[in-house]
Chain A
Amino acid sequence: MSVIYILIGISLLAALGFLAAFLWSIKTGQYEDDYTPGVRILFDDINNEKKSKNK
């Protein structure tokens, strides 16, 4: 039964990982605009040369 220590440890670590991911996503402002990115991704890239030059 002592395997349960390891299992619980792993499950808690995984959960902590998700918590960290959530906190990070808040911190980087990913919830501040939930509309524009969805539209943005549908835009076709135009004339990549010029764009990358300006980046």
Chain B
Amino acid sequence: MSNPNPHTKATCYHCGGPCDTGVIHAHDKTFCCEGCKMVFELLDENEMCAYYDLEENPGIRINSDLGEKYKFLDNEEVAESLLDFHEEDVAKVTFYVPKIHCSSCIWLLEHLNRLDSSVIRSQVNFLKKEVYVTFNAEEGSLRSLVELLATIGYEPAINLGSDKKKKKTIGKPFYYKLGVAGFAFGNIMLLSFPEYLSINDIVDDQYQKLFGYLNLALALPVFLYSASDYYKSAYKALKGKFVNIDLPISIGIIALFLRSTTEIVTGTGVGFMDSFAMFVFLLLVGKWYQEYTYQALSFERDYKSYFPIAVSKIVDGAKEIIPLKNVVVGDILEIKNKELIPADSVLTSDEARIDYSFVTGESQPVHKHKGDKLFAGGRQMGASIEVETIKPVSQSYLTNLWNQEAFQKAETPINSIVNRMSRYFTIGVLILATITFVIWLFLDSSSAVQVFTSVLIVACPCALALTVPFTFGNAMRILGKNGLFLKNTDAIEKMAYSDTLIFDKTGTITLSKNATVVYDGEALNDEVKRWVYSLTNQSNHPVSKAIANSLQSDPVPIQYFEEYEGKGIEAKIDGHHLLLGKSSWVQQSDPIKALSTESYLAVDGKVLGKFTLQKEFRPGLNSLLTRLKEKFEMFLLSGDNEAEMERVQPYFEDRKHMQFNQSPEDKLEFVSALQKHGHKAVMVGDGLNDAGALKKADVGIAVAEDVYQFSPACDGILDASSFSYLDTYLDFSKKALRIVKISFGISIAYNTIGMFFAVQGLLTPILAAILMPLSSITVVAFTTIATRWAGRLIGSDQ
């Protein structure tokens, strides 16, 4: 045994982690494992130690041996589907590397060509955690490149979803539109200055005409190009017999532009082109503010993001790598250690240990024997196994979820608060404008059209349209800073309306990894503790390991040791006979129905007590649930058995509110049943087994230890460390909604003032040029300050 001296805490020069399994001394430095040392040597050899100068201990611990893991990249079809570009000997590829975390990472990844001469160029996008590599496909291969990255600790995430290019929420055309609108806005304002200063008398008529036509020329691209999305959206809504905010906006824009054009062309006035351009520009700025995205996070993952891109198939005893999509029923597949089973299949090897944590959230591997059915999504732990597929990949147990209704539903326009408001607003404005028009026909028919358009112009809900983007946009940023990353601003509004919370158990309210061992029974003296420690230390079973860890004693020699599969372990120590295992096995007769998480201990035939493995709750859970209980109806959905029901009992009303042994479909059904009863549900889950429920719920929030690493399709990703503030975030969303409502009030007040002038035919360009920006600026300032202030309350809680 080469245990390190526990008093000196050595840290690894490469990764900065503690050297808890032994220190390796090399090159006057300490390393925690061979992997870290190897990377250092590789960098040292290539004179790349600048890596360590930029940041301290920047490295990433290498935890697994690669072996043949990336052999599938040698398959042409697979490789081609991953490459962005490949022609003759030049190939380009984009890797998503979740482990990029500091400037040293950028440095190393951008100097890949020093490690592998086939690399021509590599560039990092830190925010997206992507590396773009151009390499010589003759000299190197995709496989060698990926293996190099994996060797130095930057293993790219390659899965079935990788070959599909992500679509962006906001594209380049949007920025072109914004640029054009901003350009026109600035210049038109400049040319409108004579109007603002009422110096028309000094300026020649000739110039006025010139400025007018120049304004028109500048405004034309704004009208035809920059604002085009609004017309399209309004038209689409009208076609679907639906009113959205874009309809009154489009009416206002068109009225403004046509009225101004008429005035300029006929020489009757100078028009409102400045207001028009500013209006479009501000609207686009609002839209841009709202479309903020967490680029590095993915909210749209489905099973494809977890499944391997290729598998090894066994044909006549020989292994062959085929892309996953070519797998058909009846294929014999080889599943190596820690690989995912891609389709429902039957085990043809003798034994397997399958970890279904992906599907059920339960982290204890399940033993399977020859002929047992294995579900897709399980992970083999241990030696390679062979399986025969019985269902195609797309119709397996887990993947079937994605064919369900919840995933098929078309994107219906959300009945958001803005859209509901704008329905009344549009109708109100149109009625008012018509009444004014009719009255003016009798008063002075020559200016009736002018007044009519004035009303439409002034009613244009610019401030209204800016309220939501700025409030929710700010709220989304504040939540993001606090560890709740939302897919879009709609999620905030839906959160604000929610009245029901549904929690998944394993991995969501409990920690996914750590389990605490609780001993219950006759007190154990030090001697017995030593025995039990030595006994459990012999076994590789996860329960034994956990018990050994919890005891932390000194080992004593064992005379006899035997492990009984599925029952327990037996040993002889110092002449004493020890049994540890299932109740039925240890006690011979088992009248009480003991739970599988309990292990009984017997010494010399006498039962002393039991060890129970309890999943540790997330810190702060108790107080969180107590706080939430007052405001929400809460449910617990667990894929697990009822073992830990008692511990969560106090927080969930009754048995109806706690459902156990739930399959992914059950969870999905449960959520839709709640919704049918009028509940607005927030689902908080973590794994793929919750994917259906997360998607179906009004808001699906995925709890993740590492937000970059893992999350199923959802509306928001909650950093696990922020879990205990969930109630504050829900509260905050309600506050944000209140801010939106107040700001609607402000906006309507401004519109009323404008209307007061407009119906009397008193709306002058100068008045419009003051009133319209003023209302927008007030609203933007109010929402921003109010949201920040509400957000500061979140901060002070932490």
Q: Show the binding face of A for B, using Cβ within 8 Å.
A: 1, 4-5, 8, 11-12, 15-16, 18-19, 22-23, 26-27, 31-36, 39-40, 42-44, 46-47, 50-51, 54-55
B222 to chain A: closest CB distance in Å?
Answer: 12
Interface: B187 (CB within 8 A): yes
A39/B125 in contact, CB under 8 A: no
A54/B117 in contact, CB under 8 A: yes
User: CB within 8 Å of A: which of B98-143?
Assistant: 103, 106-107, 110-111, 113-114, 117, 119-121, 123-128
Q: Show the binding face of B for A, using Cβ within 8 Å.
A: 47-48, 50, 54, 103, 106-107, 110-111, 113-114, 117, 119-121, 123-128, 172, 175-176, 179-180, 183, 186-187, 190-191, 204, 207, 210, 214
CA distance A51 to B50 in the complex (A): 15
B204/A19 in contact, CB under 8 A: no
CA distance A36 to B123 in the complex (A): 9
Kindly report which residue of chain B lies nearest to residue A35, judged by CB atoms.
B126
CB-CB under 8 A from A23, the residues of chain B are 176, 179
A16 to chain B: closest CB distance in Å?
Answer: 8
B183/A43 in contact, CB under 8 A: no
Kindly report which residue of chain A lies nearest to residue B187, judged by CB atoms.
A15
User: Known: A12-B187, A31-B175. Is A19-B180 also a contact (CB below 8 A)?
Assistant: yes
A47/B47 in contact, CB under 8 A: yes
Q: Is the interface of A mostly helix, strand, loop or mixed?
A: helix
* Other A-B pairs beyond A15-B183, A22-B183, A26-B172, 5, CB < 8 Å: A36-B125, A39-B126, A40-B106, A43-B107, A51-B113
Residue with the highest number of chain B CB atoms closer than 10 Å, among A35, A44, A54: A54
CA distance A27 to B171 in the complex (A): 10
A-B contact pairs, 14 of them (CB 8 A): A5-B210, A8-B191, A15-B186, A15-B187, A16-B183, A22-B183, A26-B172, A33-B127, A36-B125, A36-B126, A36-B127, A40-B110, A54-B117, A54-B119
Q: Contacting B106 at CB < 8 Å: which of A18, A34, A39?
A: A39
CB-CB under 8 A from B103, the residues of chain A are 39, 42
CB-CB under 8 A from A27, the residues of chain B are 172
CB-CB under 8 A from A1, the residues of chain B are 204, 207
Kindly report which residue of chain B lies nearest to residue A47, judged by CB atoms.
B47
A26/B179 in contact, CB under 8 A: yes
Kindly report which residue of chain B lies nearest to residue A44, judged by CB atoms.
B50
A22/B125 in contact, CB under 8 A: no
User: Known: A19-B179, A43-B107. Is A33-B214 also a contact (CB below 8 A)?
Assistant: no
Q: Which 3 pairs between the two chains have the least Cβ-Cβ distance? A: A19-B183, A36-B126, A33-B125
CA distance A27 to B180 in the complex (A): 14
CA distance A44 to B40 in the complex (A): 19
A4 to chain B: closest CB distance in Å?
Answer: 7
CB-CB under 8 A from A50, the residues of chain B are 114
A8 to chain B: closest CB distance in Å?
Answer: 7
B120/A54 in contact, CB under 8 A: yes
User: Known: A33-B128, A35-B126. Is A8-B214 also a contact (CB below 8 A)?
Assistant: yes
B84 to chain A: closest CB distance in Å?
Answer: 14
Kindly report which residue of chain A lies nearest to residue B111, judged by CB atoms.
A46
CB-CB under 8 A from B54, the residues of chain A are 43
CA distance A19 to B47 in the complex (A): 45
CB-CB under 8 A from B123, the residues of chain A are 36
